[in-house]
Amino acid sequence: MEGWDPNTKSTLTQIPLLSTRAGPRDGAAWTQRLKEEYRALIAYTGMNKSNDNDWFRISATNPEGTHWSGKCWYVHNLRKYEFDLQFDIPVTYPATSPEIELPQLDGKTHKMYRGGKICLTVHFKPLWAKNWFGIAHGLCLGLAPWLAAEIPILVDSGAVKHKDDEVIASTTTTE
């Protein structure tokens, strides 16, 4: 698995694969797929918690299960940086993966496409296409390595400020 660290790979292989190949327009098959998505997310979240590596919250915001939102965070220099997280299940899912968006970081880094969509390595899509992955795998293989690579750079360059610092800055300016 070129492009990923051994840790990501071993985590990935422990997330249950999905067995129903269905998209949001596939009716009952999509409901079945959603159940599998939840099972994989529950397994992944539980795994993160027991490894003391809890790093995201995500849930579907509509009954059809096509829009998801939540939070993700990353600890850098002992401080926690938290961001809103959202994505839509594309109409061509699971042939194509969801495009993960961090809207608060839109315009702050070149490693993003329009609308705050994170820019993934060229190795992501082939891996996604070949394996029976779901939302949990996408987060593990796409978002987690992206945060690990980009957040330290964004914090060190000052593009991203810790929320405590931002509060201090705004109170000092109002004084």
Partner 1 sequence: MEEELRAMAEDLEEFKRISRESVHADLFAQLQRRVEKITSLAKSGPIRRSKVKDMSAEVVDSNPYSRLMALQRMGIVKDYERIRNFSIAIVGIGGVGSVAAEMLTRCGIGRLLLYDYDTVELANMNRLFFRPDQVGMTKTDAAVQTLSDINPDVVLESYSMNITTVKGFETFTKSLTCQNTHSSKHFIGVDLVLSCVDNYEARMVVNQACNEINLTWIESGVSEDAVSGHIQLLIPGETACFACVPPLVVASGVDEKTLKRDGVCAASLPTTMGVIAGLLVQNALKFLLKFGHVSPYLGYNALKDFFPTMSMKPNLQCSNNSCLDRQREYVSRKPERDAAAKAKEAEMLSEAVETALHLDNEWNISIVGDDDVESSNASSSTSGMLPDGLIHELPTADFHQKAPIAQDSGAFPDDLDELRKHLDALNAA
Question: Least distance (Å) from partner 1 to the CB of residue 169?
Answer: 26
H/E stretch holding 32: helix 28-50
Single out the residue of 53, 131, 156, 168 in contact with partner 1 (rule: CB under 8 A). Answer: 131
Return the residue of 72, 85, 89, 144 that touches partner 1, per CB under 8 A: 89
Indicate whether 125 belongs to the interface with partner 1 (CB under 8 A): yes
Residue 87, classified by CB atoms within 10 Å of its CB into exposed (0-12), middle (13-18) or buried (19+), is: buried
The least distance separating partner 1 from the CB of residue 164, rounded to whole angstroms, comes to 24
Asked if 16 is part of the footprint of partner 1 (rule: CB under 8 A), the reply reads yes
Q: Among this protein's residues, is 72 annotated catalytic?
A: no
* CA–CA dist 154, 69 (Å, integer): 22
Nearer to partner 1, 27 or 172 (CB): 27
Contact 72, 147 (CB under 8 A): yes
